[in-house]
Structure 1
Amino acid sequence: MPRSRPGTRVRRPSCCGPTRRTGRCTRRSTRPGTAPTGCPSPWRRSPASQRRADPMKATATTETQGSSRAADAALPAAPLDAQDRQRLLSGTHHDPHALLGAHPVPGGTAFRVLRPHARTVTLVTGERTVALTAMGDGLFSGVLPLTAIPDYRLRVTYDGQTSAIEYEDPYRFLPALGELDLHLIGEGRHEELWKALGAHPMTHQGVSGTRFTVWAPNARGVRVCGDFCHWDGTASAYPMRSLGSTGVWELFVPGMDEGTLYKFDITRADGTRALRADPMARRAEVPPATASVVTRSTYAWGDEAWMAHRADRPVCQAPFSVYEVHLASWRPGLTYRQLADELTAYVTEAGFTHVELMPVAEHPFSGSWGYQVTGFYAPTSRMGTPDDFRHLVDTLHQAGIGVILDWVPAHFPKDDWALAAFDGEHLYEPQDPRRAEHPDWGTLTFDYGRKEVRNFLVANASYWCEEFHVDGLRVDAVASMLYLDYSRDEGQWAPNESGGRENLDAVTFLQEMNATVYRRSPGVVTIAEESTAWDGVTRATHENGRDGFGGLGFGLKWNMGWSHDSLEYISRDPVYREYHHNEMTFSMVYAYSENYVLPLSHDEVVHGKQSLVSKMPGDWWQRRANHRAYLGFMWAHPGKQLLFMGQEFAQGAEWSAEGGLDWGLLDPSYPARPDHHGVLRLVRDLNHQYRATPALWERDSEPAGFSWIVTDAAQDNVLAFLRHAADGTPLLAVCNFAPVVREDYPLGVPEEPHAWREVLNTDAARYGGGDVRNPDPLKPEPEGVHGRPARLRVTLPPLATVWLRPE
């Protein structure tokens, strides 16, 4: 018997009805009309004073409780057509509401109920109870001499039980999904899709319950199955109705509320069945369990000030220093709410402006680090509820820290309970296996050309921004989406209609996603992890480029060329660096082709690549000196910064998602404490100086914000450049990547400043360095050099970066 996990506690009886309901419905049925006039008085609606306070609580009761006498018997309704009966019982009827519930017939109103395993079913309305006739296979029916359909409830008993369960009939309700929703879904333009599909606790026709909706256009039938029916999809699940050509199936189940575990039991076109998690579920069970969970949010946000002002300054003209975090391993074992306190305090002290969270959407395999998503609308339950995650974002916002979320629309895993062949056909993935299979990760790609799939993803991007207040989306593996031949050999891919290798559907999807997010969520930034030279990644979607496609519309792009080249350089022994000097200067050739982020991400410190400090050459001291000098260079280089957790205190080991960070290195009793604390102090000072220096961020995307002083000192392993604020105020950055002190090193500087002051030196003793410093102030000489009108003589510490500002 399929279950969400072995040993799941069944919380409701096998009748499949919700259990905690009492009383009777006080509202009209789905049919028009009021209690019939001219009917015998027992069928009239009871006065309000006699109705129970909570009509939805199921009550275990004796069969005659609530009535002054034993139940009357109703004449059986006409038998169902044999084909309708078979389709209803097998869960393949497209409209179970046409057969079940209450319907006018000649001579009155027919009531028909499907309750597998039931011994008796009694109709309860007002103060009258009427027994329905068993028709076999769990069907019960009766005809009452009524000219209008009354409010009614069902009272059911089972073999071996002495009490009955009373509940509302799910098949007496009109569809709880509106025509506008269906129209937008059919058009693939429902920007708030998460409000239309999935499981939603709500009040419908005056009754509390949950509306279930799912897109499964190729299914012969869909049933809601869960812990409420012992995961018995063959008999006790609730059949859903098809809402026409949109492919949406719907059912309102009264009395079902938050915490219910459920899946969809889908009968495929070939007659086989599959139990699937809800693609739109907003909460899931803790893995390895796989059921979806009915949930509602009651969170009260406190970040109004943050949200009101986050769009005040364009991100390209604002400080943007990012701490990348894998939540589950930052401090293993912490919940979202515990992280809200500890992570916020840590990041605030370290001075970062933002955190970037590796994917938090639900994923079954923790070894994927969140990059193989099965629940695109559900924050992982490993660390708490969706409202707990909201609390984490809210706490960071109230501390002035933005939140970037890794988002993975490039692929999804093949788990047979998730999206793959969801309704028996290729629904979310392309039919062509050459496009569907992702060769690198053993996953499936999305069919970006299908409007409903594109809608699913575009709405998902907005969902995280609007429901969880995230301030940005870093979109993973964009290059794998853009190219049809990505990681594919000849014969393993098919060209587009123009004969090219570009995935035109993916281009359209990314443009629509970016345009939608920026329009709906002011102040949000989208960031592309794109590893090729695709033209116009951060160009507006309405602007055409030389490739003819128009911009993709991202706000920022990871500069992976910078990461590759600079890490290659810094990992070499200084004696060889002069032959690779261009690896540190080439990035400025294309620095303004896009709006860049300089990433030292998790990808750089796993799979044998070593941690950042361990990449460095030399002995213990030299490694940390190189590490500090490199960070000083990175923070001064045009572009925003991203640093993966652990590198801010020079962790020596590669990151392990299972083991977490080496926090013991910061323990006061650890012998190397000054080194690791020193690097952490440096990162803090880099961030605080960075925030306080507009020259380092105000003109990141403008060539006028940068100028070289020294680019050709390859033999010296020296780089020097100026950054310029909008008002012209400069910052001078000098890097000496040689292990020797260079005294009185001449640098050309502007004539106007009368003196320069050292504001940051990575060789300072407080950072674990040798403390080779420059006296304050440094006064320029009138003789020019390097094409500048004045000369500044600077002492360059070994393996160090120095920042100077004019007084």
Structure 2
Amino acid sequence: MLCNPGPRALPRSGGPVCSGDRKRTTEIMRGHCKRLTNEPASLWQDHYLAVEFRQEMEKRSRFCAEWQGKFLHGKDLLEFANWHEFFGLHRITGEDWCFREWLPQAVSVALIGEFSAWQWDQRYELQPAAEGCWCGYFPPDAFRHGQQYQLKVHWPGGEGWRLPSCATRTVRARNAVGGLVFNAQVWEPEAYHWQHDYSGTDAPLLIYEAHIGMAQAEERVGTFREFKDKILPRIAETGYTCLQLMAIAQHPYYASFGYQVANFYAPCDLFGTPEELKELIDAAHGLGLRVVMDLVHSHAVRNELEGLANLCGDRTQFFHPGPRGEHPAWGSCCFQYGKPEVARFLLSNCRYWLEEYRLDGFRFDGVTSMLYLDHGLGRVFSSYQDYFGPNCDWEAWNYLAMANELVRQCRKHACTIAEEVSGMPGLGAQAQEGGCGFTYRLAMGIADYWFILLDRPEQDWPIRKLWFELNNRRQDERTVSYVECHDQAMVGGQTFLFRCLGERVYNAMHRGCDDPAVLRGLALHKMARLATLACAGHGYMTFMGNEFGHPEWIDFPREGNNWSYQHARRRWDLADDQGLAYHCLWRFEQQMLKLCRRQPDFFSCRPQLLKCHDQDQVLVFERASLLFAFNFHPRNSYPDYACPCPPGSFRLSLDSDAEQFAGLARLEPEQTCFTRTVPVAGALETQIRLYLPSQTALVLRKID
């Protein structure tokens, strides 16, 4: 969820520049330079941050250490994160049942469900215990697998039907008058037997962002099993290495895209059962894919009957009191991260998903909203002063730091990805440096910049500025780049291909179409993706369907569109039709990712600029023994373009203009180009001469 469409991260002093240092460029051309490492630098190498704000960051670190001590009381972090093991419905020794819930304001509580004919039954009453807990013990035959139930809670001045805070299975049902309700469900199936575990930690991070419900071509909600059978093979065949699953936790309103979570421990029942989700993850691991989940801990749905908003008559049980507890833009409830029970609930939620479903990490949604008391709304982050001071929520920072540490303790190979738009320094740094500990940060500004460029003629694109934007990241953290994720295509927005082609996506996408506007749009779509991958810090991402240029926006069924599923699906038939250019775009994505995967050190080194020319609209750079050459000019082709280059022989490995990619086939496939040494400005320079057709990108591999 995009919480603030503000500016990108501030560049670290000494970060990438577009023009390049002449001495270093000469060294590159002569082949004498060492490859620039892409390993994150120390946070304190940012001199300005170290001098001006070190005291503030050290103060924050002391705050975190103090609060973690209060939370843990000497316990291990994994031992503290056991909410799901203590609360909820569990079998205990001797096969009896135990149910516990944290209801500090309650005066009487009972489990009511199919086992009690939906009537209050003294046999299912809970008894008060210590620290606001309520507990009940029941014989082995008290519950059966699949039975639905709720909590009936009485508190001073009120009562209500509620769901357990850590129910691991909740389902939609109809009540006696036909209304839609959510019930918890007794869930005790046969244990799932895992067949695979993720073992591809050395693979480059190539993320496929997907939504289970809208992954089918039909106008309906898709399922876990359909995704496993039909979509997973597509993802693996294309070349992605990581599946990012959206909207997994139970949410009452399908059109919320899964961002209004009610039941944090339960998979969404619209998609299938918990075991079917495990089957999907297991199958993904079998294909060599790591699986990460969108984790929404930035807020919770305000629904009382389905969620946590008023579990026992106190809206501040999990959330801040007053206006601070209400998100002004999302209409949801904001967690009180400084409350030990809330931190335990959320940390346990991380542990539960990792252990029960063998996930390989999380994408934390809405991190900017968590880090600032004003949620970063309507603010421009223009200086380091914006990242420190009374507007920062240190309690949220402390929770995120604990969550990152817990994830790594729980599954050592697991990763965490921050969706954070303000550019908060230290987000990806380790705790010992005062950092928050995220493995990656999404480079959200790159997508914004591509869409900005489409508003101006290509001959006016500032290529030096483009190079800067593609490489503008802090050197103390790892980043993931993308041209478009789900945010860009939400209703009111457009996919990148639609911005390039407009209405032509409907009637001019047959192969062989010679409409110049279509050829332009297809070329830019390919070039943008390749440039973004080639300059990506440490990973690349796309949203489901964009790998073949999905033409239309996303709009979930709602009253405003007459509950239509027309735009809540994916048109796989377009990618499968070999007579359409959509199929060519998919083929290009496949070959682009293959090129990256064949270079095991691709993300281990940084791209190095060789030539950047605004007037010619040419960009040339080197990375991991691959030479990338882009000509963005809409009309000018350059038949013998001289580019500085490390010495050697280079073979054409990828040509965006190839016929198989819906191009004009102006280059001979797999040709070999050789460098030569020429005098330039009184010195010898190694150059390569290339034919650069208009609006074409080339990748050449060094072969000696």
Bin the TM-score by the shorter chain: 0.7 to 0.9
1:296: how far off?
2.7
Change in Cα spacing, 1:763 to 1:654, as seen in structure 2 (3 Å) is same
1:355: how far off?
1.2
Q: Which residue pairs with 2:288 in the alignment?
A: 400
Match of residue 330, structure 1, among 215, 221, 230:
215
1:342: how far off?
1.3
Match of residue 523, structure 1, among 394, 398, 413:
413
Match of residue 172, structure 2, among 259, 272, 286:
286
Amino acid at match of 1:294: V
Q: Which residue pairs with 2:686 in the alignment?
A: 790
Written as runs of structure 1 = structure 2, the 5 A alignment for 1:655-666 is 655-657=554-556, 658-659=565-566, 660-666=569-575
Written as runs of structure 1 = structure 2, the 5 A alignment for 1:139-150 is none
Match of residue 147, structure 2, among 244, 260, 275:
260
Q: Which residue pairs with 2:528 in the alignment?
A: 630
Q: Is the counterpart of residue 369 in structure 1 residue 254 in structure 2?
A: no
Answer yes or no: is the 8 Å Cα contact 1:479–1:530 preserved in 2: yes
Change in Cα spacing, 1:758 to 1:438, as seen in structure 2 (3 Å) is same
Match of residue 470, structure 1, among 359, 370, 380:
359
Q: Which residue pairs with 2:192 in the alignment?
A: 300
SS in 1 for 2:403: helix
1:185: how far off?
11
Mapped to 1, the partners of 2:377 and 2:671 lie a distance apart of 59
Answer yes or no: is the 8 Å Cα contact 1:243–1:250 preserved in 2: no
Match of residue 653, structure 1, among 552, 570, 573:
552
Answer yes or no: is the 8 Å Cα contact 1:638–1:696 preserved in 2: no
Amino acid at match of 2:127: R
SS in 2 for 1:390: helix
Instruction: Report the count of equivalent residues.
Output: 585
Written as runs of structure 1 = structure 2, the 5 A alignment for 1:594-609 is 594-599=477-482, 600-609=484-493
Q: Is the counterpart of residue 731 in structure 1 residue 615 in structure 2?
A: no
Q: Which residue pairs with 1:231 in the alignment?
A: 118
Residues 573-615 of structure 1: CA deviation (Å, up to 9, x unaligned): 213314x741442342435242100132100112322111112
Amino acid at match of 1:442: G
Amino acid at match of 1:453: V
Match of residue 240, structure 2, among 352, 374, 397:
352
SS in 2 for 1:778: strand
Written as runs of structure 1 = structure 2, the 5 A alignment for 1:145-544 is 190-200=80-90, 202-204=91-93, 206=94, 208-233=95-120, 238-245=124-131, 247-255=133-141, 256-270=143-157, 272-286=158-172, 288-304=180-196, 306-307=197-198, 309-310=199-200, 313=202, 318-331=203-216, 332-417=220-305, 418-486=307-375, 500-543=390-433
Amino acid at match of 2:441: K
SS in 2 for 1:710: strand
Higher helix proportion (structure 1 or 2): 2
Written as runs of structure 1 = structure 2, the 5 A alignment for 1:561-600 is 561-578=445-462, 581-590=464-473, 592-599=475-482, 600=484
Change in Cα spacing, 1:425 to 1:250, as seen in structure 2 (3 Å) is same
Q: Which residue pairs with 2:656 in the alignment?
A: 762
SS in 1 for 2:362: strand
Mapped to 2, the partners of 1:310 and 1:520 lie a distance apart of 18
Mapped to 2, the partners of 1:736 and 1:489 lie a distance apart of 37
Written as runs of structure 1 = structure 2, the 5 A alignment for 1:696-735 is 696-699=602-605, 705-711=606-612, 713-724=613-624, 730-735=625-630
Change in Cα spacing, 1:794 to 1:784, as seen in structure 2 (3 Å) is farther
Answer yes or no: is the 8 Å Cα contact 2:315–2:321 preserved in 1: no
Answer yes or no: is the 8 Å Cα contact 1:675–1:767 preserved in 2: yes
Q: Which residue pairs with 1:22 in the alignment?
A: none
Mapped to 1, the partners of 2:77 and 2:470 lie a distance apart of 44
Change in Cα spacing, 1:714 to 1:228, as seen in structure 2 (3 Å) is same
Amino acid at match of 1:401: L
Percent identity between matched residues is 27
Mapped to 1, the partners of 2:103 and 2:320 lie a distance apart of 16
Answer yes or no: is the 8 Å Cα contact 2:244–2:292 preserved in 1: yes
Mapped to 2, the partners of 1:716 and 1:803 lie a distance apart of 19
Answer yes or no: is the 8 Å Cα contact 1:188–1:452 preserved in 2: no
1:570: how far off?
4.3
1:427: how far off?
4.1
SS in 2 for 1:250: strand
Q: Is the counterpart of residue 679 in structure 1 residue 580 in structure 2?
A: no
Mapped to 1, the partners of 2:471 and 2:378 lie a distance apart of 33
For structure 2, list consecutive stretches of 5 or more residues without a partner in the other structure.
1-71, 174-179, 380-385, 502-515, 557-564
Amino acid at match of 2:190: T
Change in Cα spacing, 1:339 to 1:605, as seen in structure 2 (3 Å) is same
For structure 1, list consecutive stretches of 5 or more residues without a partner in the other structure.
1-181, 491-495, 544-549, 700-704, 725-729
1:553: how far off?
0.6
Q: What TM-score results when the alignment is normalised by the length of structure 2?
A: 0.79
Answer yes or no: is the 8 Å Cα contact 1:665–1:673 preserved in 2: no
Mapped to 1, the partners of 2:579 and 2:151 lie a distance apart of 55
Answer yes or no: is the 8 Å Cα contact 2:350–2:407 preserved in 1: yes
SS in 1 for 2:653: strand
Higher relative contact order (CA 8 A, sep 6+): 2
Residues 399-449 of structure 1: CA deviation (Å, up to 9, x unaligned): 111111100000111112120021111344434323101011100011101
Change in Cα spacing, 1:732 to 1:678, as seen in structure 2 (3 Å) is same
Mapped to 1, the partners of 2:73 and 2:144 lie a distance apart of 27
Match of residue 748, structure 1, among 631, 634, 644:
644
Residues 715-744 of structure 1: CA deviation (Å, up to 9, x unaligned): 1222111113xxxxx211111111232221
Amino acid at match of 2:655: N
1:636: how far off?
0.8
Mapped to 1, the partners of 2:660 and 2:680 lie a distance apart of 33
Change in Cα spacing, 1:583 to 1:297, as seen in structure 2 (3 Å) is farther
Change in Cα spacing, 1:479 to 1:788, as seen in structure 2 (3 Å) is farther
Q: Which residue pairs with 2:66 in the alignment?
A: none
Change in Cα spacing, 1:281 to 1:186, as seen in structure 2 (3 Å) is farther
Q: What TM-score results when the alignment is normalised by the length of structure 1?
A: 0.69
Answer yes or no: is the 8 Å Cα contact 1:278–1:292 preserved in 2: yes
Mapped to 2, the partners of 1:647 and 1:191 lie a distance apart of 38
